[in-house]
Structure 1
Amino acid sequence: MKKFKTIFNQVKALEGAETPELISLLWQLIYYSPKMPVRLQQQQLLNEAKAFTLEVDDPHFAKANLKFNGFIWGEGNRRILVTHGWGSKAADFAELITALKNLPDTQIIGFDAPGNGSSEGELSNLILFAKAATAIIKTHGVPDVLIGHSLGAMANALAIKDTGIEPELLISITPLINLKENFIATLNSADVSREVQAKFFADFEQLFEMQASDFIMDKVYPAGLINRHWLAFDPEDKVAPVGFLKSFLNLHPEIETRIYENLGHERIIKDETLIADIINLIS
């Protein structure tokens, strides 16, 4: 988190001046995922897991294969894949994973996406999240249930679409819906001018060979491949504005939703009521 704050302050200090230094810093501002240390309870949970390591290619930032770390709890036949959000890690689902472990005949798989937690990578992005989820599916088998928080919810949708699997249940918790708007909000908060933002998005299109506006849930959503989709959100969430979510839900009225008030974007995954509801859904 300290590094991210340093990058943010450096960008603000340049006061929007279009310089090579500023353009370089903007890539770090948008794509550096803040890292928080593992707490004791989280480490104890990780110690109980069977650890594994897989690789994905990163042609955009590292321009190399990146190793990412995963964790398996249980040996049951019903497989649950848990995908964390931006600036997070598998261990941040400690409360939920602990509850899931009590379900019979269950195997839970979590992972630290490239550039997050304990995994390799300096910068990260949605594509790397989805590639990691896809690599797990191809290596460890098709999950019956996928659970994703924030960017992890969008990554799960993209992985389902890329692999063509048909999970029994998809659970999305405060999903990000429109990444370009999240990028713009971050750039605005750092006082980056519209002219410099336009330059950033032009460079983005050249690097990824697609527009930032393509990184929206509407375009990555695997309609027809999901038997049941349950979605949890806080209407006052500042990170994933409810306006974008409502527009998406209007396109997919089959998605079941539940509102959890006064939890925000991050604390919601630790909420006892939410966890109990997820356990009831799966069991």
Structure 2
Amino acid sequence: MKKLKTVFNQVKSLNGAGAPDMISLLWQLICYSPKMPVRLQQQLLLDEAKPFTLEVDDPHFAKSTLKFKGFTWGEGKRKILITHGWGSKAADFAELITALKSVDDMQVIAFDAPGNGSSEGELSNLLLFAKAATTVIKTFGAPDVLIGHSLGAMANAIAIKETAIQPALLISIAPLINLKENFIASLNAADVAPGLQDQFFTNFESLFDMEASHFTLHNLYPGGLVRRHWLAYDPEDKIAPFAFLENFLIAHPEVETKVYQGPGHERVIKDELVISDLVSLIA
């Protein structure tokens, strides 16, 4: 978190003016994922898990393969894959994983995406999240249930398309809907001038060979591959604004939704009512 604050303050101090390394700073502002230490309760849960290490290719930032770490709990036939959000890690689902361990015949699988938690990588992005989820699916087999929070919900959508699996249940918690708008919000918060923002998005298109506007949940949605999609959100969520979600839900009326007032974007995965509802859905 300290590094991200330093980069943010560097960018903001320029008051919209350019600098020789400005685009590099903006990449760090947008794609450096803050890493928070593991708490005692989380570490105790990780100690119970069977750890694993897998690899994905990062052709954009590291330009090499990156090792990422994951964890499994249980040996049941039903598999649950959990994909965390930006600036998060598998251990942040400690309360949910603990609750899911009580469900019969279950195996819970979670991982730290590249550039997050305990995994390798300096900068990260949605494609690395999706590659990691895809690699886990190909290694452990098709999960019956996929749970994704925030950016993890978008990553799960890509992974389902990539692997052509047909999960019985897809759960999206406070999903990001429009990634470019989240980028713009971060750039605006740091007082980045419109011209510099345009330069960043031009650089983005050159690096990824596609526009940032492509990365919306509507564009990435796996459609008929999902038998049931259940979505939880807080209408006052500032990170994933309801205005974007509303448009997505109009386009996909088959998605079941439930409103949770008050938990916000980050703490929604720890909310007792949310966890209770998820366990009931899965069990």
User: Structure 2-normalised TM-score?
Assistant: 0.99
Identical aligned residues as a percent: 72
Equivalent positions of 1:8-157 (< 5 A) are 8-157=8-157
**1:106 aligned partner, one-letter code:** M
Report the counterpart of residue 278 of structure 2 in structure 1.
278
Shift of 1:98: 0.2
Q: CA RMSD in A?
A: 0.5
Distance across 2 between alignment mates of 1:169 and 1:107: 15
Do the aligned partners of 1:177 and 1:245 also contact (CA within 8 Å) in 2?
A: yes
Report the counterpart of residue 264 of structure 1 in structure 2.
264
Distance across 2 between alignment mates of 1:60 and 1:86: 18
Distance across 1 between alignment mates of 2:147 and 2:195: 38
Distance across 2 between alignment mates of 1:217 and 1:267: 22
Shift of 1:16: 1.6
Shift of 1:19: 2.3
Distance across 2 between alignment mates of 1:129 and 1:20: 30
Do the aligned partners of 1:57 and 1:65 also contact (CA within 8 Å) in 2?
A: yes
Equivalent positions of 1:108-257 (< 5 A) are 108-257=108-257
Do the aligned partners of 1:14 and 1:22 also contact (CA within 8 Å) in 2?
A: no
Distance across 2 between alignment mates of 1:246 and 1:270: 24
Distance across 1 between alignment mates of 2:186 and 2:194: 12
Shift of 1:232: 0.1
Shift of 1:163: 0.8
Shift of 1:70: 0.3
Larger displacement relative to structure 2 (137-146 or 15-24): 15-24
Distance across 2 between alignment mates of 1:157 and 1:138: 15
**1:56 aligned partner, one-letter code:** V
Distance across 2 between alignment mates of 1:16 and 1:65: 35
**1:41 aligned partner, one-letter code:** Q
Report the counterpart of residue 5 of structure 1 in structure 2.
5
Distance across 1 between alignment mates of 2:184 and 2:28: 14
Structure 1 unaligned spans of 5+: none
Distance across 2 between alignment mates of 1:106 and 1:203: 44
**1:220 aligned partner, one-letter code:** L
**1:273 aligned partner, one-letter code:** L
Do the aligned partners of 1:8 and 1:190 also contact (CA within 8 Å) in 2?
A: yes
Q: Give the SS at the match of 2:82.
A: strand
User: Structure 1-normalised TM-score?
Assistant: 0.99
Deviations 1:234-275 (A, max 9, x none): 000000000000000001000000000011000110011000
Deviations 1:127-172 (A, max 9, x none): 0000000000000100000000000001001100111100000000
**2:180 aligned partner, one-letter code:** K
Distance across 2 between alignment mates of 1:20 and 1:33: 23
How many residue pairs end up in the alignment? 283
Q: Give the SS at the match of 1:7.
A: helix
Distance across 1 between alignment mates of 2:204 and 2:20: 15
**2:141 aligned partner, one-letter code:** G
**2:121 aligned partner, one-letter code:** G
Shift of 1:21: 1.7
Distance across 2 between alignment mates of 1:268 and 1:259: 11
